[in-house]
Chains A and B, each alone.
Chain A
Amino acid sequence: MNQAATETRSVVVEREVPYAPEKIWRALTQPHLIEEWQMKNDFRPAVDHRFNFRGDWGSVDCRVLTIEPTETLSYTWDAMGLESVVTWTLTPTAAGTHLRMEQAGFKPDQNQAYQGAKFGWQKFFAKLEEVVKKEA
C-alpha cells in the first residue's frame, strides 16, 4: 500500500477444468461460442481488433491486446466507468487445464464506486423486490 494514489486492484478467478487448453481456447475466441457463456459479441482473434460485449444491462467496449493461441488472451474491458484489462491464462495440467482470469485496473475512485453501485443495484434489486414481496 505504498502507492495509495495510483493503486489499482485486481479480480482473479481460477478454476481447474477437465478439458484440454485447445478446447477452452475455442470457447474463449469463437464469437458464437463466447456468446453461449458470456454475451453477444463481435470478437475476432486479432491484436488491436475493437469489439463489444452486449448484455441486457449495457455494453462493454473492448480491444484485443494479446493473442497467444491456447495460452494467453487479453483484452481491454471498459464499461460503466470501469477501465480494466481482462487476461485469460491457460496452463495444461495432468487432469486438463488450469484456467485463470484476471481483471486488473480497479481504482479506488469515486466515479468507479458510483458506477459500481449502479451496476450492483440493477443486479440486486430486481431479485430483492421479489424476495421482499414473498416475505410480506
Chain B
Amino acid sequence: MNLMPNAHDILFRTLADPTRRAIFERLCREGEQTVGALTIQAKVSQPAVSKHLGLLKEAGLVRDRHEGRQTHYSAQLGALAPLIDWTSQMTGFWQGRFDQLEDLLRRMDQ
C-alpha cells in the first residue's frame, strides 16, 4: 500500500466507514444537528452515533456546540480541502489518461 500523508490518512480512515460517512454527509446536507436527531436516522444506537461523532471530531470534520443539555454537531467543510481541489483531481486523471494513451500508441500500427 502507498504511504499517504498523515492528514490524508486520518481523513480517509475516518470517512471510509459507511455509517460515519452517512452521518457526516447528513451534517453537510442538512446543517447542524443534535445527537438525538442524528440517531433517529442512523439505524445505529445513540452511543454508537456518539462514538462516530467523536472520531469525526478528532479528524476535524465536525465541531460540537453545547447548548443546555444538548450537544449540536456541525460539519467542518474546511477539513475536506485535500479532497475538494479540482485541479489536483484532474491532474491525476489526465496523468492516468496519458499513460493509457502511450500504451495505445505502443500497440498502434505506424
Contacts and interface: CB of A to CB of B under 8 A. Distances in A.
A binds B: yes
Interface of A: 9-11, 13, 15, 17, 19, 23-24, 26-27, 33, 36-38, 82, 99, 101, 103, 106, 112-117, 119-121, 123-125, 128-129, 131-132, 134
A20 to B, nearest CB: 8
B83 A120 contact: yes
Given A27-B105, A106-B86, A124 B100 contact: no
Main secondary structure of the interface of A (DSSP, over half): helix
The 9 closest A-B pairs by CB, nearest first: A116-B86, A37-B100, A117-B84, A37-B101, A120-B83, A13-B94, A132-B16, A128-B16, A113-B84
A115 B80 CA distance: 12
Interface residues of B, number: 29
A112 B86 contact: yes
14 contacts: A11-B90, A11-B94, A13-B98, A27-B105, A37-B97, A99-B98, A116-B84, A116-B85, A116-B89, A117-B80, A119-B86, A121-B15, A125-B15, A128-B15
Given A11-B94, A36-B104, A37-B100, A121 B83 contact: yes
B6 to A, nearest CB: 15
Contacts of A120: 83-84, 89
Interface of B: 1, 12-13, 15-18, 21, 80, 83-87, 89-91, 94-95, 97-98, 100-105, 108, 110
B16 to A, nearest CB: 4
Contacts of B103: 37
B83 A11 contact: no
Given A125-B15, A128-B16, A27 B104 contact: yes
A19 B104 CA distance: 11
Contacts of B80: 117
B98 A15 contact: yes
B75 to A, nearest CB: 12
A103 B16 contact: no
